[in-house]
């Protein structure tokens, strides 16, 4: 199977935030449940700082601890990638990729049933994400970022990408247990 990038995948939402500027600077409402139009109760927030070419992912948690995520870049610029691992989906095995930065005032919502990762494209990045389920290490899994079958078009050469030892040893897409 050769994966393809999709400009839209059912369930993934790009949210345009609306900044308010005045003489003091800018204010952005980064989360207002009634305006988001998704039925998700977030219970955990994470903030991650990363250096240039650091890739975190591609991660997911199995049921009953699968997680939906709302991703916001606070500082810097990232390439955000989500892979559809829902076997019943018409885009199963396909990926979605978007560049997000502190300047574009956009967020991405990724529902349960996706593996997720991001690559820092600026000198440093600060990424904030909300999750609707708690982190459970014994339910976490991952997919190799450089899996040839997924054929993800990363914005940085694979040889320059920095990953943890754990992520470097993630299995291929064909070797994981998928969501039903």
pLDDT digits (tens, 9 = 90+) for 51-93: 999 999 999 999 999 999 999 999 999 999 999 999 999 999 9
Task: Give the CA dihedral 111, 113, 119, 122, nearest 10 degrees.
Answer: 0
- Answer whether residue 69 is part of any domain: yes
pLDDT at position 178 over 90: no
- Answer whether residue 2 is part of any domain: no
- Answer whether residue 7 is part of any domain: no
Higher-confidence residue of 44 and 32: namely 44
User: Among the options 21, 59, 94, 128, which is catalytic?
Assistant: 59
| Number of domains observed in the structure of the chain | 1
Q: For 40, list phi and psi in degrees, rounded to 5.
A: -135, 135
Strands 140-142 and 124-131: unpaired
pLDDT of residue 102: 95
Is 129 one of the annotated active-site residues of the chain?
yes
User: Among the options 94, 95, 116, 129, which is catalytic?
Assistant: 129
Q: Report the mean per-residue pLDDT for the chain.
A: 91
User: pLDDT exceeding 90 applies to what percent of the chain?
Assistant: 79
Higher-confidence residue of 120 and 33: namely 120
CB 145 within 8 A of CB 117: yes
Is 95 one of the annotated active-site residues of the chain?
no
- Answer whether residue 121 is part of any domain: yes
Q: For 167, list phi and psi in degrees, rounded to 5.
A: -70, -30
Higher-confidence residue of 164 and 34: namely 164
pLDDT interval class at 30 (50, 70, 90): confident
User: pLDDT exceeding 70 applies to what percent of the chain?
Assistant: 93
pLDDT interval class at 110 (50, 70, 90): very high
Closest by CA to 56, choosing from 121, 139, 137, 138, is 121
Question: How far is residue 158's CA from residue 32's CA, in Å, rounded to a whole number?
Answer: 37
Q: Which helix (H) or strand (E) holds 36?
A: helix 33-36
- Answer whether residue 55 is part of any domain: yes
Q: Which residues pair with 45 in a beta bridge?
A: 130
pLDDT at position 49 over 80: yes
Question: How far is residue 73's CA from residue 71's CA, in Å, rounded to a whole number?
Answer: 7
pLDDT of residue 85: 95
pLDDT of residue 2: 43
- Answer whether residue 1 is part of any domain: no
Q: Compute the average pLDDT of residues 126-149.
A: 94
Looking up tokens 């990038």 gives: 5
Q: Domain of 162?
A: 13-175
Q: Compute the average pLDDT of residues 110-131.
A: 97
> What beta strand segments (E) does the chain contain?
13-16, 20-22, 25-27, 44-51, 55-61, 69-75, 77-84, 95-101, 106-110, 114-120, 124-131, 140-142
- Answer whether residue 3 is part of any domain: no
**CATH number, residue 142:** 2.60.120.10
pLDDT of residue 1: 44
């Amino acid at each position: 199977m050769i994966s393809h990038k999709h400009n839209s995948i059912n369930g993934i939402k790009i949210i345009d935030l609306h900044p308010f500027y005045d003489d003091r600077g800018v204010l952005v409402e980064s989360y207002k449940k009634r305006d988001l139009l998704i039925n998700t109760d977030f219970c955990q927030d994470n903030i991650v700082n990363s250096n240039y070419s650091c890739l975190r992912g591609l991660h997911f948690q199995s049921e009953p601890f699968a997680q939906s995520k709302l991703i916001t870049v606070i500082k810097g610029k990232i390439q955000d990638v989500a892979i559809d691992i829902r076997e019943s989906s018409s885009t199963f095995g396909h990926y979605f990729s978007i560049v997000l930065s502190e300047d574009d005032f956009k967020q991405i919502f990724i529902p349960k049933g996706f593996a997720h990762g991001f690559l820092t494209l600026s000198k440093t990045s600060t990424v904030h994400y909300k999750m609707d389920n708690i982190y459970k290490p014994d339910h976490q899994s991952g997919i190799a970022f450089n899996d040839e079958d997924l054929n993800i078009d990363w914005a940085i050469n694979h040889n320059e990408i920095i990953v943890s030892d754990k992520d470097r040893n993630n299995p291929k897409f064909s070797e994981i247990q998928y969501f039903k």
